[in-house]
Structure 1
């Protein structure tokens, strides 16, 4: 049993709380919170980015998705916390379990700032009708987490218009048009605020964001931000773009005082606490729940953003090719490399780029059976040594001033089994089929997901994660709600129809526990194909390893797709390679 859970129960008993929810997010519903906000990780010991912890008097549970099942099983061992595999048959959801377990008169507690309204309303709706009381006023984890890190406030910088494509003033004007005459829009999403203001910082590891809130009115714009994060240059810039500044900690008080307004908000964006404030009867506000117009506009990249993304991906492709060439030769020659020391080489290639800002996420570097852990992160002490056999999966990317990259390749390090080759080929087929699909305007991600899975399904295989996620421009690498997945989103506002300029990933996989993991990923942008049809154009220009391919498994069309993409890769990135690297790339990308 984890001592943190024991300590938390002691505080719960004193406060009269029978069940406590600790989510992964911060007050902005960020996927990756600051170190200050990682309460769930501190309490549970589970380090994955997605998960919700429920602690009760005698039991504790943690819900996470298919990306993290293996990791969670390892990290929760002997913790006294039961793993709840989300989406699996017979596994109740958090709200279903609360409805079953909590009795009338008992108290459910959570920090109202850390649950979005969309999450909070479902939970509250299930338990309050059964006579359960809510305690959402404070974060009791503070009494257990005595050495909690301080809230960060890195220096904010301006992303120039030559990269962003539009000024902050222009974006604010476009959002106001989408507000359709309503008085006020509340924005809590850090990625939305970064896009809207053309400002960036690094308060969160691998995320170019800064802690803030934004309130947009018909004649006024207010940024709530930590004063220490602002330079005189940024203060002047905000003033020139018509944006007022208020202290970050004043947001809750300001929201509580909004009265007689027509308020637009996004249920997945604002916190449960914020909703409670704006919905008080005495404030007489009229509320409109929508997909935030900022989120919608952010998801559709302008022409300058798309052009810059193409440039950054070509440079990134050069680093990927250099890495694959270097790694194959090192392993072949018996070099002493581990998953961690190998991926450091790739990280450092990117860091040498003149536009480099940060990695877009910690590099995933998994050899052999470690590749089956979807979000595996190698550590120096425990990283597996690379050998001249089997498959090696690496998922990586960077944030540059002119774009965000996210690419996965699985490569052969030597002899491969037939099963490894078959699975590798099927995954590659799926990636290329989705990339080359043509579809009618009005389609959403669930319409196209089968293109990536059909070859796998024919062999009784599947993967337990989405096929594609939206990607931000010099922003978060996972950008909702753009996505490709095999289940429709229950929130109708988040089933976003594809439009030209959207950017997303295409990343099918196969994960065989104890054996190998395979994932192939590219980023692509939606393009107009005419006559009411759309398609995809690849942004990622990284070679596909031809060594493990089983060509006889591929259809004639699959081979055409493969040859077309490999030619694009060679034509795009060969300029940046040495003669030896170029000759190798020519060989690995030749027609099959």
Structure 2
């Protein structure tokens, strides 16, 4: 099994560990220390040795930060985790604040401008530090104080590196590197530091296994405008084959050589590109202390990585057909179970097994799940990023909703799909709100939009039906997805804060939801890809559109057809017909018969 369920955190440890950290503050004569949920690469998914926030507080979410002061401790989390944090963290030790509405910088601006705050410059981006400085916060870079008290901290990962074949990558690594070097020259930069392991994986056509569920090899790279790049990665991660492959592309060096190497480049007058939103403050400090010039420029690999080429798109389509077959087999199996007969963990295990089976049948095996499956029955479904454990495991009860958000990592693509299923007879309210969420998904799916449209421009379309009913959800509508890479990829996103333009080839999720605390959660998610602009008959300009990649039926028992327009019903029926056509051949007779019934056309009268 790829997912572990024995995930235990002890809120009672928080007070003891905070006390140890406060002793360090006293020794250093500082008033506080910032503990972000981050590593040196600023990734969402981090290795066990970088889970400092979890170790200190008990909170296991993928985003958050703690501010430990001498007289109080504040934990900042976003809207996805407001329920989860109550169960995992000692409320007597930690004051909970919103990471979005009142982040640490804003809290300190209002309450702690006279405080001396220590921070590890490897764990905060250049942009973050500038925001603190602009707010007048007295920051002091230092060694990591959590590491000094975390006596059983795990070792750094040494997962093996593999080569991503040209058939899946679509472009040779040497050609990608040449294009990136050309970009640097045009920007008048001599070098660029790649800090995001996903960008390194994409540029060098490699994948790794240092981080759970995301095929990344942790390391850094320095790209050069006029010479070979330098790749800083432990050779313990390389086989004879991968070592020979990478040595042809770059000078391969140990990560411990990064700081000295960067200092030498700076001392020679290097004009070095750093992405302020991704690069650690420590890198800027090294460059400036050694006489180099920092250029504020985006990661040069980020947009090319996000705008998938034809091979990557074809691979994603194939991966979604197989994944859709696995999810549909699971939905058929689930429909045969009696309410109260299975629990959240058994559902996760069954779905994972169906993915494994389809992979074996098609010779494109499941390499991993793309994230820990969110399997929420009844009130657990209202916890947006709920993770089932042996302690929280709940039976799927009669008259409840079951939300399952999952994905697979295949060598040709990464998937992410959410379906909400009725267990027994749903209530009228459940059906109404499910249909409102479905309307939001369809609204985004059918949208036509001009060049230059941003994710924030599209986000209200997914929420419109819910807003009309006085309802809302506390998360973005869509995140970017990589190609056998991270299931959450930037810069593309559909959200209130999604300022990046949506460009052809970008894969993004479409996942509106609704959550009723203590009762149920609803989320529906398909992955979509931005298509090239085309003419619309009678129109004045070309328009982009979305192609839906995900293929699995929605639960018709929860759909109220009278709430859907004719155009929405037409899209739904067309989508279901496509699901049958594309994944039907991968189902046995019983599952196919079930799918044909589940995906049968719905009329306005139901």
Instruction: Please give the per-residue CA displacement for 1:346-405, whole angstroms capped at 9, x wherever unaligned.
Output: 012223313321110000000111100011011134311112322100000011011000
Among residues 505, 523, 526, which one is paired with 2:527 in the alignment? 523
Contact kept in structure 2, 1:410 and 1:518, CA below 8 Å = yes
Matched, 1:545 2:538: no
- Residue in 1 that maps onto 2:546: 536
Among residues 144, 167, 173, which one is paired with 1:168 in the alignment? 173
Matched, 1:267 2:271: no
- Residue in 1 that maps onto 2:110: 100
Instruction: Please give the per-residue CA displacement for 1:93-148, whole angstroms capped at 9, x wherever unaligned.
Output: 311222233354x42111110111111221133235xxx3x332201112221100
Deviates more, 1:373-382 or 1:145-154: 373-382
SS class of match (1:483): strand
SS class of match (1:68): helix
* 1:362-511 equivalence runs, <5 A: 362-488=372-498, 495-511=499-515
Contact kept in structure 2, 1:102 and 1:127, CA below 8 Å = no
C-alpha separation in 1, matches of 2:599 and 2:509 = 22
C-alpha separation in 1, matches of 2:491 and 2:86 = 29
Among residues 127, 134, 140, which one is paired with 2:145 in the alignment? 140
What is the CA distance between 1:79 and its match in structure 2? 4.5
The two structures have a TM-score, normalised by structure 1, of 0.95
C-alpha separation in 2, matches of 1:199 and 1:413 = 43
- Residue in 2 that maps onto 1:350: 355
The two structures have a TM-score, normalised by structure 2, of 0.92
- Residue in 2 that maps onto 1:561: 571
Q: Indicate the RMSD between aligned Cα atoms, in angstroms.
A: 1.4
SS class of match (2:469): coil
What is the CA distance between 1:235 and its match in structure 2? 1.1
Among residues 90, 108, 113, which one is paired with 2:122 in the alignment? 113
Instruction: Please give the per-residue CA displacement for 1:137-194, whole angstroms capped at 9, x wherever unaligned.
Output: 2011122211000001111011101111111111111212222142101110011111
C-alpha separation in 2, matches of 1:103 and 1:212 = 36
Deviates more, 1:168-177 or 1:78-87: 78-87
Unaligned runs of 5+ in 1: 489-494
Contact kept in structure 1, 2:220 and 2:232, CA below 8 Å = yes
- Residue in 1 that maps onto 2:182: 177
Instruction: Please give the per-residue CA displacement for 1:532-574, whole angstroms capped at 9, x wherever unaligned.
Output: 2100001100111111111111111111121111111111111
- Residue in 1 that maps onto 2:234: 226
Mark the CA change 1:95 to 1:154 in structure 2 (over 3 Å): closer, same or farther: same
- Residue in 1 that maps onto 2:77: 64
Matched, 1:246 2:253: yes
- Residue in 1 that maps onto 2:299: 292
Instruction: Please give the per-residue CA displacement for 1:213-238, whole angstroms capped at 9, x wherever unaligned.
Output: 00000212110001210111011111
SS class of match (1:14): helix
C-alpha separation in 2, matches of 1:410 and 1:151 = 38
C-alpha separation in 1, matches of 2:111 and 2:440 = 42
Contact kept in structure 2, 1:523 and 1:539, CA below 8 Å = yes
- Residue in 1 that maps onto 2:345: 340
C-alpha separation in 2, matches of 1:416 and 1:316 = 27
Instruction: Please give the per-residue CA displacement for 1:48-84, whole angstroms capped at 9, x wherever unaligned.
Output: 0100110001111111111111111222243411111
Matched, 1:211 2:221: no
Among residues 21, 38, 52, which one is paired with 2:51 in the alignment? 38
- Residue in 2 that maps onto 1:5: 18
What is the CA distance between 1:292 and its match in structure 2? 1.4
Contact kept in structure 2, 1:29 and 1:269, CA below 8 Å = yes
Contact kept in structure 1, 2:327 and 2:355, CA below 8 Å = no
C-alpha separation in 1, matches of 2:164 and 2:380 = 38
What is the CA distance between 1:279 and its match in structure 2? 2.3
Deviates more, 1:513-522 or 1:134-143: 134-143
What is the CA distance between 1:483 and its match in structure 2? 0.4
C-alpha separation in 2, matches of 1:117 and 1:587 = 55
Contact kept in structure 2, 1:433 and 1:561, CA below 8 Å = no
What is the CA distance between 1:239 and its match in structure 2? 2.4
C-alpha separation in 2, matches of 1:111 and 1:565 = 50
What is the CA distance between 1:264 and its match in structure 2? 1.4
What is the CA distance between 1:12 and its match in structure 2? 1.3
Contact kept in structure 2, 1:164 and 1:305, CA below 8 Å = yes
- Residue in 2 that maps onto 1:590: 600
- Residue in 2 that maps onto 1:492: none
Contact kept in structure 2, 1:308 and 1:402, CA below 8 Å = yes
Contact kept in structure 1, 2:126 and 2:277, CA below 8 Å = yes
Contact kept in structure 2, 1:574 and 1:582, CA below 8 Å = yes
C-alpha separation in 2, matches of 1:70 and 1:20 = 25
- Residue in 2 that maps onto 1:491: none
Contact kept in structure 1, 2:451 and 2:533, CA below 8 Å = no
C-alpha separation in 1, matches of 2:15 and 2:394 = 28
Contact kept in structure 2, 1:121 and 1:272, CA below 8 Å = no
Number of residue equivalences: 573
Deviates more, 1:534-543 or 1:134-143: 134-143
Instruction: Please give the per-residue CA displacement for 1:237-278, whole angstroms capped at 9, x wherever unaligned.
Output: 1123x2110001221222223220121111112101111111
- Residue in 2 that maps onto 1:277: 286
Runs of 4 or more consecutive aligned structure 1 residues displaced over 4 Å after TM superposition = none
Matched, 1:126 2:135: yes
Mark the CA change 1:38 to 1:79 in structure 2 (over 3 Å): closer, same or farther: farther
Instruction: Please give the per-residue CA displacement for 1:436-475, whole angstroms capped at 9, x wherever unaligned.
Output: 1000011010111111111111100110110000000010
Contact kept in structure 1, 2:477 and 2:512, CA below 8 Å = yes
- Residue in 1 that maps onto 2:88: 75
C-alpha separation in 2, matches of 1:267 and 1:168 = 25
Contact kept in structure 1, 2:399 and 2:427, CA below 8 Å = no
Contact kept in structure 1, 2:235 and 2:243, CA below 8 Å = no
C-alpha separation in 1, matches of 2:512 and 2:113 = 43
What is the CA distance between 1:341 and its match in structure 2? 1.1
